[in-house]
Structure 1
Amino acid sequence: MTTEQTDEQLWAAVVRGDGVAFATVFDRHGDRVWRHVWRMMQHRQDAEDVVSATFAEAWRKRSSVRIVDDSLLPWLLVTATNCARNASRGKRRLERLIAHIPRADDAPDAADVVGDRSEADAAKTAVTEALRALPQADASLIALVMLEEMPLADAARALGIGYGAAKTRIHRARGRMRAHLEAAGVAPTLEEVS
């Protein structure tokens, strides 16, 4: 396998079970997927877990992976967004469970710990929460277009929707995110915090 092969050629080999081709795909796109996940997860271990889950899904679903303009990256980014959302839901469930465990009187209050975050962390957290509040398809579209700077037409193809529908969805999703950020008391643009 050479790195000169296209994603489509490599993926055809992966579908046949070629691990070397799969490793080449990982080498080609792993860093980009990691950066994308890092923006959503904000913790190194969580990001690494989600990247692993993303590539595990790619291997598991290798015969049904959608290639867009000879690139696996859109499919990987959408899958990474979905895996990140699943991981975040699991983390929130665990946090709710832990919150119900009795604690010692001298343990720090969670509100005090959260209050120590910097403004930048608060803004990133608000953007992450705003992204999580969107329907899955809208969050994937926002992630591809605004965070990964993918052209809207390419993102629409990656998600299997028409360009006009994508244009409408992204306009509405930006409005919902803006309202969520304003309600959270955060006023930066999405570009400033992505």
Structure 2
Amino acid sequence: MGNVESDDEGLWSRSLKGESEAFRVLYARHRDRVFRHAYRLSGDRHDAEDIMATAFLELWRCRAKVRIVEGSVLPWLLVTTTNAARNSGRAALRYRRLLASLPRADETERAGQDFYRTAQDVLDQDLARALGTLNAGDVHLVSLIVFEEYTIAAAAAVLNLTPGAAKTRMHRARQRMRNALQRSQPSPVSTTPVLEGERS
């Protein structure tokens, strides 16, 4: 198979020269993490697949603006995924409003669908709602630090913040998410593990 490049810079440089195989390797390397991030934000697998596809499309469409951080395109992809998820969420809201204005579907069918929704789906949607209480910049910050385990310094570099400002915003964002998760889960469920992972 030859040498597999350990960071993305070489692969990205080759992609920019038109080597489709290099872009395919980047896609294979990061698609799972981008999908998980999209799923965290949307709480829906089908939406997450669409959001992931949009993020990689934007990676190529905006290739002149892509920033490599610590040898990786992943931070740029994660920020783009957050933006795509927000756009998708707004479109879904418009769609739900349209459906609400139409005559009601059979309530028994809807009750059956709710019955089969798993506990994991509920938790995923609670997390997506908690992330939805944050502004776009703070969602980017939480995603990079908590979910993807980047350092505060690396996340700050991606988002054009000072490390001190990133740390302050991270503290406030974690508090808002904790409050939102506690409101959505009246049972005594610990929310601390979801929000752990901040690294200096």
> Which TM-score band applies after superposition, normalised by the shorter structure?
0.7 to 0.9
User: How many pairs align?
Assistant: 193
Q: TM-score, normalised by structure 2?
A: 0.84
Deviation at residue 169 of structure 1 after TM alignment: 0.5
- Any conservation in 2 of the 1:130–1:177 contact (CA below 8 Å)? yes
- Any conservation in 1 of the 2:38–2:52 contact (CA below 8 Å)? yes
> What CA distance in whole angstroms lies between the structure 1 residues aligned with 2:62 and 2:32?
21
Deviation at residue 120 of structure 1 after TM alignment: 4.0
Letter in 2 for 1:37: A
1:101 partnered with 2:102: yes
Deviation at residue 15 of structure 1 after TM alignment: 2.5
Change in CA separation of 1:117 and 1:13 when aligned onto 2, cut-off 3 Å? same
Change in CA separation of 1:188 and 1:121 when aligned onto 2, cut-off 3 Å? farther
Letter in 2 for 1:42: G
- Any conservation in 2 of the 1:14–1:62 contact (CA below 8 Å)? no
Q: Give SS of 1:30's match.
A: helix
Runs of 5+ consecutive residues of structure 2 not aligned to the other structure:
none
Cα deviation 1:82-131 (Å, max 9, x = unaligned): 11121122112111111110125x44385885576454433321221110
> What CA distance in whole angstroms lies between the structure 2 residues aligned with 1:5 and 1:193?
29
Deviation at residue 180 of structure 1 after TM alignment: 1.6
1:92 partnered with 2:90: no
> What CA distance in whole angstroms lies between the structure 2 residues aligned with 1:44 and 1:148?
19
Change in CA separation of 1:34 and 1:120 when aligned onto 2, cut-off 3 Å? closer
Quote the residue 1:122 is aligned against: 122
- Any conservation in 2 of the 1:38–1:47 contact (CA below 8 Å)? yes
Q: Give SS of 1:108's match.
A: helix
Quote the residue 1:170 is aligned against: 170
> What CA distance in whole angstroms lies between the structure 2 residues aligned with 1:78 and 1:34?
13
> What CA distance in whole angstroms lies between the structure 2 residues aligned with 1:182 and 1:130?
10
1:56 partnered with 2:62: no
Deviation at residue 52 of structure 1 after TM alignment: 0.6
- Any conservation in 2 of the 1:123–1:193 contact (CA below 8 Å)? no
> What CA distance in whole angstroms lies between the structure 1 residues aligned with 2:60 and 2:3?
19
Deviation at residue 140 of structure 1 after TM alignment: 0.9
Change in CA separation of 1:185 and 1:38 when aligned onto 2, cut-off 3 Å? closer
- Any conservation in 2 of the 1:124–1:193 contact (CA below 8 Å)? no
- Any conservation in 1 of the 2:182–2:191 contact (CA below 8 Å)? no
Deviation at residue 133 of structure 1 after TM alignment: 1.8
Quote the residue 1:69 is aligned against: 70
1:18 partnered with 2:19: yes
Change in CA separation of 1:25 and 1:193 when aligned onto 2, cut-off 3 Å? same
Q: TM-score, normalised by structure 1?
A: 0.86
> What CA distance in whole angstroms lies between the structure 1 residues aligned with 2:178 and 2:195?
12
Identity percentage of aligned residues: 42
Change in CA separation of 1:107 and 1:114 when aligned onto 2, cut-off 3 Å? closer
